[in-house]
Chains A and B, each alone.
Chain A
Amino acid sequence: MGEPAILKNKDRLALAKDLVACLEDGRESDASRVLGQLGGGHEGQLYREVGCLTRELHETINCFVHESNLADIAHSEIPDAAERLAHVIRMTEDASNTTLSAVEDAMPLAQVLSNDSRRLVDALERLQRPDNDDLDCLAVGKDLESFLRDTQANADALNTRLSQVLMAQEHQDLTGQIIQKVIELVRDVEAKLIELVRLSGARKLQPGNSHKGDRKSDTGVHGPIVPGVDKVDGVTDQDEVDDLLSSLGF
């Protein structure tokens, strides 16, 4: 159908008079036809404008989705990010376990050093009493030699464990980098969501309108408080816990 011409006022007046004539004569189908002609121009214009807007919005959204890689973000980057964070948990857990193993080995060694030292000090003190004899000296001498050899071995073993603890800390650098990447993705998604909200013409959501609060209160737990981020009525250290409990009589 070709573009109907926009009706001028004198044409409309002519059509209106024609309409009245049809109606007065009872010519219903003619009246309907004239009515169609009268309104047709405007209806067409309305349809054209709505069609135009719809196309524009459609193109803008398509353009946005394409340029902002939303499909990529949804199908691969976000699942990737989740896997990256799961990996970080595994790395930090491994590092903790390595450190704990080194500590579990090292503590008994330190204990042995301490115990043996104490025993030898006692033996040496006894030696200094007037009633000691040469056999005692010899025995303590042997004991001392044996202790010093053990100590050297134990010190070396402790050194090795401490090195293991040192190296286990390297995870922090690696996990830090991985987390940094995820932070970038989160900021990217944030920017795109804001843009999408703007594009769709929605009123900017006021913080607090959203249901974030409901989600958290589902289980009642909050997890560790992150300074600068979490704003909950919480205590900051053990002393505050103790004060709170004793003020209530517990």
Chain B
Amino acid sequence: MKILVVDDFSTMRRIIKNLLRELGFTNTHEADDGTTALPMLQNGRFDFVITDWNMPGMQGIDLLKAIRADDQLKHLPVLMVTAESKRDQIVNAAQAGVNGYVVKPFTAITLEEKISKIFERLAA
């Protein structure tokens, strides 16, 4: 399972990588913005994306829309992990095709639950 973690704060990327390692996912890669993430996804054969929302170059919501608009990438599962908690933002993300939404601060258990749920739904 090849996973891309996208967040402009390196400490947050590190925390998520560690949590993923605890869950058994060791093939993880990092990007610091939507603009650097998109080419990695287009060239990379990734299986899963975890992304923040608020990033300076290209925000998570725009990365999500770009993924869903790309024929090669549109089925890629995307989990948003973000401090953005306005109701209409959450709804926008869901309507744009996000597979899961986790608000910061979050726990390891929450992350695990959401990831499992996404894979269960995909398998079904």
Contacts and interface: CB of A to CB of B under 8 A. Distances in A.
A224 B53 CA distance: 11
Interface in A213-250: 219-225, 232-238, 241, 244-245, 248, 250
B38 interface: no
A235 B85 contact: yes
B43 interface: no
Q: How large is the interface on A (under 10, 10 to 19, 20 to 34, 35 or more residues)?
A: 20 to 34
Given A97-B11, A221-B59, A223-B83, A245 B110 contact: no
Interface residues of B, number: 26
B14 A97 contact: yes
B90 A245 contact: yes
Given A93-B11, A97-B14, A100-B18, A221 B103 contact: no
Contacts of B86: 222, 232-234
Interface in A89-132: 93, 96-97, 100, 103-104, 107
**Residue of B85, B88, B110 with most chain A CB atoms under a 10 A cut-off:** B85
B94 interface: yes
Contacts of A103: 18
B11 A233 contact: no
B5 interface: no
A233 B91 CA distance: 12
Contacts, number: 65
Given A221-B59, A238-B102, A244 B85 contact: no
A236 B94 contact: no
Given A232-B86, A234-B86, A107 B14 contact: no
Nearest to A232: B86
Contacts of B54: 221, 223
A244 B103 contact: no
Nearest to B54: A221
Given A238-B110, A241-B101, A245-B90, A224 B83 contact: yes
A248 B104 CA distance: 22
B20 to A, nearest CB: 13
Contact of B18 (A104, A219, A224): A104
A229 to B, nearest CB: 14
B124 to A, nearest CB: 15
Interface of B: 9-11, 14-15, 18, 22, 53-54, 59, 83-91, 94, 101-104, 106, 110
Interface of A: 93, 96-97, 100, 103-104, 107, 219-225, 232-238, 241, 244-245, 248, 250
30 contacts: A96-B11, A97-B10, A100-B18, A103-B18, A219-B59, A220-B89, A221-B84, A222-B85, A222-B86, A223-B83, A223-B84, A224-B83, A234-B85, A235-B85, A235-B87, A235-B90, A235-B103, A236-B85, A237-B103, A238-B103, A238-B106, A238-B110, A241-B85, A241-B90, A241-B102, A241-B103, A244-B90, A245-B94, A245-B101, A248-B94
Identify the 8 closest CB pairs spanning chains A and B, nearest first. Answer: A234-B85, A96-B11, A224-B83, A250-B94, A221-B54, A234-B86, A235-B85, A100-B14
